[in-house]
Amino acid sequence: MCDTCGCENSHEHPLHSPLTKGEVKTVEINQSLLKANEDAASHNREHFDSNGIFTLNLISSPGSGKTTLLEKTAEALKDEFSLGVLEGDIETDLDAERIRKKGVPAVQLTTGGACHLDSVLIHKGMHELEHQLNGKKMDILFIENVGNLVCPSFFNLGEHVRVVLVSVPEGPDKPIKYPKAFKTSHVFIITKSDLLPYFDFDIEKVKKDALSLNPDLKIFVISATTGDGMGEWFTFLRNKLKSPPPLRGGD
Amino acid sequence: MHEVSIALSMVNELARIAKENNAKYISAVNLRIGRSSGIVIDSLKFAFDAIKLENPLISSAEIVIEEVPLRYECNDCKISFETDYIHFPSCPDCKSYSLKLLSGDEMDIVNMELEV
């Protein structure tokens, strides 16, 4: 009988038996813990650049209005540009269905529990989306990340522009509570601005906090319900499409 | 919860390198994690210790994490200083917010020890 665990056969127990006798060797690695994702992100980015696809990654808490923003953007721009959407959620394809109803191809990526999208999932989703497009070129790809302001900010998906959204009812402290999301984004959209009269949301302070974390953030204040501020968002997208490839993040 | 994904990809990478080196076991892995990296060290250890059990090559590996302090250099008065203030640090001398990060955002696998 095995002395360590009492089972029938004698066998090796790497968990509690020593790693003895062999030669010990130290292997220098010196690489980022995120290397696997970064490698896949570079691959995605090359694909976006060589096919002239301007890609945005939208991150926010659940319920900030990411899908609604995409629905309104689809209505406004789908005749002007060829759009595609990758929808990240833990479960269901409700969001992809909402986008498809607007006449825009969408692929649902369900993570089955994971709280963020990674570059390998995006790679798979892209192939599915291109299958749906059936040879038609894509101008803009929107990636709607899983609703979460923490984990998605760690995972580069190869996007050109990262967009962080906060809705007025969520309160004004999101930038200082989730600094990484704001430090790693290029665009900050404050949504549901039509609700400003009903909430204690000091918009100038929120902007100031976000800019202290990241002075290069481009800020939009929008209401998808009234349409306020949406024009500036569309203009931003149109201007981005004018810049020659490879497209870059930032202003 | 991103620590679980990070631990999963780390275990795959360590296994790959260990196989390349014809290792019998990985006995230890050394990481450097910065104070402002956003990685919770206890969560990463917990995830690693749970995931490693699935792979005999790694199941006895001890994870050793060096926490790297957050250090800045002031762009105005050029002093360097350590701080725990992650969000809006300022220079303790001249109060400037114009700072250059010297360390604290690391999330690196430094090396590992193998039995070959």
Distance CA A26, CA A35 (A): 20
Res A251: pLDDT = 41
**The pLDDT value given to residue A23:** 87
Residue A20's pLDDT is what? 55
B51-75 pLDDT, tens per residue? 999 999 999 999 999 999 999 999 9
pLDDT recorded at residue A175:
94
A24 touches chain B (CB under 8 A): yes
Which pLDDT score, from 0 to 100, does residue A9 have? 59
Q: Which amino acid is at B5?
A: S
Are the beta carbons of A28 and B27 separated by less than 8 Å? Answer: no
B107 touches B33 (CB < 8 A): yes
The pLDDT score that the predictor gives to residue A186 is 98
Per-residue pLDDT at A250: 44
- Hey, are the CB atoms on B113 and A25 less than 8 Å from each other? yes
**Predicted local confidence at residue B78, as pLDDT:** 95
- Give the torsion sign (CA, A192, A194, A198, A203): positive
Chain A residues in contact with B24 (beta carbon < 8 A): 19, 22
Please give the C-alpha separations between residue A41 and each of A25, A28, A141, B70, B95, in angstroms, as whole numbers: 32, 24, 15, 27, 38
A153 touches A180 (CB < 8 A): yes
Which of A15, A153, A176 is facing B60, going by the closest CB pair?
Answer: A15
Would an 8 Å CB–CB cutoff place A155 in contact with chain B? Answer: yes
B86 contact residues in A (CB cutoff 8 A): 179
Q: Retrieve residue A244's tokens.
A: 């020659």
A199 alpha-carbon distance from chain centroid: 27
Dihedral sign, CA of A226, A87, A149, A122?
negative
B8 touching A (Cβ < 8 Å): no
Compute the Cα dihedral for B11, B13, B17, B20 and give only its sign: positive
Chain A residues whose CB is inside 8 A of the B13 CB are 31, 35-36
ipTM computed for the complex: 0.86
Distance CA B26, CA A24 (A): 9
> Which uninterrupted H or E stretch holds A246?
none
Q: Could you tell me which chain A residue has the CA closest to the CA of B44?
A: A33
Residues of chain B with pLDDT under 50: none
Which helix (H) or strand (E) covers residue B71, if one does? strand B70-74
Q: Which residues pair with A122 in a beta bridge?
A: none
Structure tokens at B100: 């250059």
Q: Structure tokens of A233? A: 């968002």
Q: Give the pLDDT confidence score for residue A100 in this predicted structure.
A: 96
CB distance B5–A31 less than 8 Å? no
What is the least distance, in Å, from the CA of B91 to any CA of chain A?
15
Low-confidence ranges of chain A (pLDDT < 70): 1-21, 244-251
Kindly give, in sequence order, each residue whose CB lies less than 8 Å from that of residue A89, ignoring residues fewer than 6 positions away: A95, A108, A109, A110, A111, A146, A147
Pick one of 3.40.50.10070, 3.40.50.300, 2.40.160.20, 3.40.50.970 as the CATH number of A41-242: 3.40.50.300
Where do the structural domains in chain B lie, given as residue ranges?
2-69+104-115
CA angle at residue A152 from A148 to A156, to 5 degrees?
165
Residue range B2-69+104-115, CATH number: 3.30.2320.50
